[in-house]
Amino acid sequence: MNRLQGKRCVVTGGGSGIGRASAQRLAGEGASVLVVGRSVDNTNETVSLITAAGGRAAALVADATSESDVQAMVRRCLGKFGGLDVFFANAGTPGTNAGIFDQTVEEWNEVWRINVISCMLAIKHAGLHMAEQGAGSIILTSSAGSLRANAGAISYSASKAAVNNLTQTAANAFTGKGVRVNAVLPGLVETQMTRKVFEYARERGKADRIGHMTPLQRAGQPHEIAAMVAFLASDDSSFVTGQLYAVDGGISSTHPHGRIPV
């Protein structure tokens, strides 16, 4: 498909996992993609994978939580590709699994900075350009763990709940400007961030139990999240804004611990 032909996109956290899969999917549908990451090697590898497949991409090593760096992302995309139509704010951190009484202000500040402030800066600076041109799509990465307890660290889940509200408030802040803001809420997906969970299950011989509480009874793959990102980046979602899309195998549709066996 070429439904993103001519679109100019920025993807943060693009060096691996969902960010890499999304950058590849966007480029595969015809977009030009600025891949942003913290690791030179990982970011360049994503670009190499895209260009080897015939796509158009460029790399930028930057910090998605730095206002000056986010401004630089916008400038680089405008300079390299001649415009900015889509910004996928995907940078994130999982936090730690410390109990409520062991939580620290330092952890919360770090998790909030990476998971929430990065999204705010994307909205502020990409949104300013998009509002001036009268169109654009901003996509934020939240989490199915933002909806209920026990699907992530406390600090992580709370920060992603903030991203949900930011999605809705920002969408309304752009009323009349033609800028859409939506969020993708992944469930359990094997990425660099969640790799320890998968490795632990495999070491214990319980790999078949990964994702078993979802209606689909499996974990997700990065390319499945990327498919939703591509939809939200495209004109197929032109009447969609302020929405939270759970791509989680259906886990958020129920209360799995209270399921009645059939």
CB 26 within 8 A of CB 230: yes
Q: CB within 8 A of 71, min separation 6: which ones? A: 125
What's the gap between Cα 48 and its chain centre?
21
Q: What is the pLDDT of residue 204?
A: 73
In the DSSP assignment, the letter for residue 189 is B
262: number of Cβ within 10 Å? 3
List, for the chain, all residue ranges whose pLDDT scores fall below the cut of 50: 258-262
Q: Which of 156, 220, 233, 241 is catalytic?
A: 156
Q: What is the pLDDT of residue 200?
A: 61
pTM over 0.85: yes
For 10, the 3-state DSSP assignment is: strand
241: number of Cβ within 10 Å? 21
Q: What is the pLDDT of residue 262?
A: 46
CB 82 within 8 A of CB 93: no
Q: What is the pLDDT of residue 259?
A: 45
Is 200 catalytic? The answer is no
For the chain, domain boundaries: 8-192+222-245
CATH 1.20.1440.230 assigned to domain 8-192+222-245? The reply is: no
